[in-house]
Amino acid sequence: MSAQVLDGKAIAADIRERIRSQVDDLRAKGRRVPGLVVVLVGQNPASQVYVRNKRKACEQVGFHSELMVLPAETSQQDLLALIDELNARADVDGILVQLPLPGQIDEDAVTERILATKDVDGFHPYNIGRLVLRRPVLRPCTPKGVMTMLARTGIDLVGKDAVIIGQSNIVGRPMFLELLMARCTVTVCHSKTKDLPSKVRCADIIVAAVGVPRFVQADWVKPGAIVIDVGINRLDDGTLCGDADTAAVAEVAGWITPVPGGVGPMTVATLLENTLLAAELHAAGSG
């Protein structure tokens, strides 16, 4: 393997340690610790794992955290009423409703109901708009976590060619805005893109967020490129793999993120950063 590994697990541990010490300082000053409420509707197994990791991370840094599990049949009206209650609670700095939601619930309506200042996912149109305008407040966790990882390479991103594979609201689109804000030239590819391999071959930075196991092939990768693998795919044998053919791509790339232990832990660590920021905004009276 020639690529250097971008160890998300280790970077995330550093972030958690820094946040834990900030929470200790708050407590020492007699101030309230940040509070996050995570809402899970139904029993999607992947969501259950993600939510458990988020709660565990909150506890580790000393945040107040609550998990609210609602039945899969919950109506949109009931979920919106719960969000209204959480919006009104002074001890709640962040609200996270785990996606996807069951079919009877309109995800956009839920996202827009959460107060923008408590939107620690950074999905509210206000927060996305701030990112478009290069004046971000609460930024979507996975793309922001990827930017933290890219910073750790020490490579100057200005003028680099970046290709994102995937155009989701959660990853692809905000990732485009983050990389553009970092002054990269950014191409977003999707299922209708013509000759995807030729576009990926031009990239200094590749962000794979398609949800297809081992989709990105070694011969699509420019030697020395940074490969960020957002995919977490469970194979039939129960093992996890990413959206890139990691072992083969690592022979060509300059940097690569492992799966698991790459982007996943960074998403969770960034959620903690966002919750701390939301708490600071509330304490300053701007929330």
Told to judge if 121 belongs to the known catalytic residues of this protein, a careful annotator would answer yes
CB atoms within 10 A of CB 257: 27
Q: Which is nearer to ligand GUN, 98 or 117 (CB)?
A: 98
CB-nearest residue to ligand GUN: 99
Q: Tell the smallest beta-carbon distance from residue 87 to ligand GUN (Å).
A: 16
Q: With the C-alpha atoms ordered 277, 260, 100, 83, is the resulting torsion angle positive or negative? A: negative
Catalytic residue among 93, 98, 144, 229: 98
C-alpha closest to that of 243 among 234, 254, 232, 235: 232
Q: Tell the smallest beta-carbon distance from residue 48 to ligand GUN (Å).
A: 12
Q: In angstroms, rounded to a whole number, what is the distance separating the alpha carbons of residues 57 and 67?
A: 13
* Gyration radius of the chain over CA positions: 19
Catalytic residue among 93, 118, 119, 121: 121
Q: Tell the smallest beta-carbon distance from residue 31 to ligand GUN (Å).
A: 27
Task: Compute CA distances 12 → 17, 152, 186, 240, 264, whole Å.
Answer: 9, 12, 26, 19, 9
Residue 188 structure tokens: 């977003």
Told to judge if 22 belongs to the known catalytic residues of this protein, a careful annotator would answer no
Place of tokens 């699509």: 220
Told to judge if 98 belongs to the known catalytic residues of this protein, a careful annotator would answer yes
Q: Tell the smallest beta-carbon distance from residue 127 to ligand GUN (Å).
A: 13
Q: Which is nearer to ligand GUN, 97 or 200 (CB)?
A: 97
Which spans of this chain sit near ligand GUN (rule: CB under 6 A)? 96-99, 121, 141-142, 170, 267
Q: Which is nearer to ligand GUN, 99 or 241 (CB)?
A: 99
* Residues classed as catalytic: 54, 98, 121
